[in-house]
């Protein structure tokens, strides 16, 4: 686990090569075909070295949920174990990890009339206002959702209005997870200096633009069957470039918004991780602030895993 741009993929590939573990991606953007540059999807060479399961399994027009992930990951884990190997789950979509470990609760089914009313209110007042309304009834959930994440805000408000019960309480009643079905070692990798993480995020986003991120989103935009409300297009970076293609911002503004949105994502991921139980922190810096080398990071990870996994 870890915030975006923290080095999860590099570490996972190294552990695959060291231990022979089979990688399962835990990332809500990597599931989509055609979302490559902006999602920091492993390159073809990296995937040849270390195949990742649950990458490129959905078209961007097809939403993919935490429940879908839990079902698919459960199947992949069973297949890996049946081969006598160890599943290695890597990614930053904390809700997916939570759904897999703790299971999913039986929340009220979506009700079109309620959703329509919420969406009408959002059209009148904006999603940040609806986020504030969510905070009044479910502060725990609101703190984990970006003020412009319309899909998740709408669902959380819908659950509350249909049941009178916050979605966070439903999640505390989850069942069916795999927490007690396997022996888990959970590692979170991150630099302890937030400035370092912010610098890596900025450098990576600028590199994505140099590598053709705008052209990648333009290909999706020209399809004609996608829109900015789909989960794939709402992915960090994609929404900002999509708005740029629609003429809602200039290049400089788009680039700045993309960097800011990625930093906000990292902050939300770290908020999840700070309260995560049984988590081993792997800081990618020495106490003096100097960054660890790739080999030093791998050694620290192997020490955490030993003796039960090595």
pLDDT in tens, 169-221: 887 776 679 998 999 999 999 999 999 999 999 999 999 999 999 999 999 99
Mean pLDDT of 14-34: 97
Domain co-membership, 213 together with 166: no
**C-beta atoms surrounding 61 within 10 Å:** 14
pLDDT score at 106: 75
Of 123, 140, 172, which one is at a domain's C-terminal end?
A: 172
Mean pLDDT of the chain: 94
pLDDT for 221 equals: 98
Residues 12 and 137 grouped into a single domain: no
Whether 289 is covered by a domain: the verdict is yes
Taking the C-alpha atoms of residue 221 and residue 231, their distance in angstroms, rounded to an integer, is 14
Pairing of β 103-104 and β 175-176: antiparallel
**Cis peptide, bond prior to residue 307, ω within 30 of zero:** yes
CATH code, domain carrying 126: 1.10.20.140
Which band of pLDDT confidence, cut at 50, 70 and 90, is reported for residue 105?
Answer: confident
The predicted pLDDT at position 231 comes to 92
Check residue 310 and give its pLDDT.
47
72 and 124 housed in the same domain? no
Q: What is the CA 297 to chain-centroid distance, rounded? A: 22
Asked whether the predicted pLDDT for residue 307 surpasses 60, the reply is no
Distance CA 82, CA 80 (A): 5
Task: Tell me the mean pLDDT in the region 108-125.
Answer: 92
Does residue 264 belong to any structural domain of this protein? yes
172, 195, 212 - which closes a domain: 172
What DSSP letter does each residue of 56-102 carry, written as one string?
S-B-TTS---HHHHHHHHHHHHHHHHHTT--EEEE-S-HHHHHHHHH
Do 159 and 188 share a domain, yes or no? no
Q: Is the pTM of this model over 0.75?
A: yes
Residue 309 has pLDDT above 50, yes or no: no
Overall average pLDDT of the 72-81 stretch: 98
Mark residue 18 as left, alpha or beta (left: phi above 0; alpha: psi -120 to 50; beta: remaining). alpha
Contact status, residue 105 vs residue 171, Cβ threshold 8 Å: yes
The mean pLDDT of 48-57, rounded to a whole number, is: 98
- Distance between CA atoms of residues 63 and 198, nearest Å: 29
Query: Is there a single domain that holds both residue 53 and residue 160?
Result: no
Domain ranges, residue 188: 8-104+177-305
Residues 66 and 79 in one domain: yes
pLDDT of residue 107: 82
Q: What percent of the chain has pLDDT over 90?
A: 88
Lay out the sheet containing 52-53: strands in order across.
52-53, 22-25, 87-90
Query: Both 118 and 94 in a single domain?
Result: no
Averaged pLDDT for residues 104-111: 82
* Residues 269 and 186 grouped into a single domain: yes
Question: Do 221 and 85 share a structural domain?
Answer: yes
Q: Count of domains in the chain?
A: 2
Q: Which residues contact 254 (CB under 8 A, 6 or more apart)?
A: 240, 241, 243, 244
Domain containing residue 53: CATH number: 3.40.50.300
Last residue of a domain, one of 154, 172, 190: 172
Residue 252 has pLDDT above 50, yes or no: yes
In terms of domains, do 163 and 212 share one?
no
What pairs with residue 232 in β-bridges?
Answer: none
Q: Is the pLDDT of residue 110 over 70?
A: yes
CB atoms within 10 A of CB 100: 24
182 and 167 within one domain: no
For position 197, what pLDDT does the model report? 97
């Amino acid at each position: 686990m870890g915030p975006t741009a923290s080095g999860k993929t590099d570490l996972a590939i190294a552990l695959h090569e060291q231990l022979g573990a089979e990688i399962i991606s835990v990332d809500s953007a990597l599931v989509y075909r055609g979302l490559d540059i902006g999602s920091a999807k492993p390159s073809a060479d990296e995937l040849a070295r270390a195949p990742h399961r649950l990458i490129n399994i959905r078209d961007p027009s097809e939403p993919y949920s935490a429940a879908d992930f839990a079902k698919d990951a459960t199947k992949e884990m069973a297949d890996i174990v049946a081969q006598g190997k160890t599943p290695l789950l890597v990614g930053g979509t904390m809700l997916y990890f939570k759904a897999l470990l703790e299971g999913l609760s039986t929340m009220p089914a979506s009700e079109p009339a309620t959703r329509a009313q919420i969406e009408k209110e959002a059209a009148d007042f904006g999603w940040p206002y609806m986020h504030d309304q969510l905070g009044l009834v479910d502060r725990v959930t609101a703190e984990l959702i970006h003020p412009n994440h319309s899909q998740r805000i709408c669902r959380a408000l819908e659950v509350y209005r249909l049941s009178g019960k916050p979605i966070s309480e439903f999640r505390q009643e989850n069942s069916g997870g795999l927490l007690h079905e396997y022996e888990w070692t959970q590692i979170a990798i991150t630099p302890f200096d937030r400035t370092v993480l912010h610098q890596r995020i900025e450098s990576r986003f600028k590199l994505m633009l140099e590598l053709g991120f705008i052209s990648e989103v333009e290909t999706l935009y020209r399809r004609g069957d996608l829109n900015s409300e789909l989960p794939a297009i709402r992915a960090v970076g994609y929404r900002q470039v999509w708005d740029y293609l629609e003429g809602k911002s200039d290049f400089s503004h788009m680039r700045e918004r993309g960097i800011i949105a990625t930093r906000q994502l990292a902050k939300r991921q770290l908020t999840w991780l700070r309260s995560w139980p049984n988590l081993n922190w792997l800081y990618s810096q020495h106490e003096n602030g100097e960054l660890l080398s790739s080999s030093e990071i791998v050694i620290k990870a192997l020490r955490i895993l030993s003796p039960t996994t090595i």
